[in-house]
Structure 1
């Protein structure tokens, strides 16, 4: 068939007439309904005019503009409801973040357990120096007083204890 080559049909003429007469006011109305989202508003106007074109009998015997505005409003409401009914297409899912945070807690617990095992492998003097300086947060002088050893000994034991701890953690695949 070569209908398209002949020119616009009566249906296309109706659509063009509807758009030229009601397109501008309809777009302005839908822009207000969509909060200024021009792309969504243009889609709604297009769908509204398409429905009028598909159902010309719905326009017969009634004012056209109120019918178009009602259809457009219904389309915007339906789109809003559909958007709320399904998960967001983009953005961050709060439940996923909670799940990931939970796995971080598990990872931290496993790391702590591994570090505790590595500390248990150290000599008692190295372990005592690390407990005083790192876990209890004492200065070299305070650790020396608590352990009853000179400050220089605390420094050297801390140095060698950290090296031994690093090796023990590397054996477990945890050292940097």
Structure 2
């Protein structure tokens, strides 16, 4: 395995999680992650420094923002006879589905810059410095956006959710 593959491969699951959290469409997220990886490999020599993780997340974040600008938000309708039978036959736990739906709607209600910091810091566990590098903002700005995002999510989800939004470290 070459140097690039050794550095990039362990980061792919996190990139996929971030893209899926942003888009909530597994197939589209995987396509955008693939675009990210293609850009990373083709511009490998142009990167600055040794920190591959923030660099990859920055590429992915920019692709996600670009996609959001291009694609209007609308649901994809699938005729019932074309739907996957397995997906129709399996029932999710109602409370899990309700909580997941609440969280998803709450994340979607956040401005993109707040959504990005929540996903990068709370879900992908990037350090404040790494997340600030990904977004191209100062660490202080990231911290204030994160605080506002957590406060807003707590309002949207309910007062008891605030403690779960805090970073465990």
TM-score by length of 2: 0.39
Flag the structure with more relative contact order, 1 or 2, with Cα contacts below 8 A and sequence separation at least 6.
2
Larger Rg: 1
